[in-house]
């Protein structure tokens, strides 16, 4: 199941797999929020599961 979350800054982040999702969040935090970082487990705990077919590549 794919994952998504909305960052408080308004950016919607999605990933088809857990690894894709964590990578997208990490990249967003690094690029948009001064290099912030969260542990993988914390990122996944903030995610909402969504159907795989709602994620476009």
* pTM of the predicted protein model: 0.90
Strand order in the sheet with 48-50: 12-15, 2-6, 48-50
Let me know: does 1 contact 51? Beta carbons within 8 Å.
Answer: yes
Please give the pLDDT value at position 53. 87
> With 80 as the cut, is the pLDDT of residue 57 above it?
no
Q: What is residue 21's predicted lDDT score, i.e. its pLDDT?
A: 97
For 30, residues 6+ apart whose C-beta sits below 8 A from its C-beta are 36, 37
Q: What is the pLDDT of residues 6-25, one digit of tens each?
A: 999 999 999 999 999 999 99
Tokens of 57: 């590549």
pLDDT (mean) for 1-9: 95
Full residue range of the structural domain in which residue 27 is found: 2-54
57 vs 42, more confident: 42
Task: Report the domain count for the chain.
Answer: 1
């Amino acid at each position: 199941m794919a994952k998504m979350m909305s960052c408080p800054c308004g950016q919607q982040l999605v990933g088809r797999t857990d690894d894709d999702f964590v990578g997208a969040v990490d990249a967003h935090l690094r690029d948009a929020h001064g290099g912030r970082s969260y542990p993988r487990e914390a990122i996944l705990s903030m995610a909402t599961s969504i159907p795989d077919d709602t994620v476009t590549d």
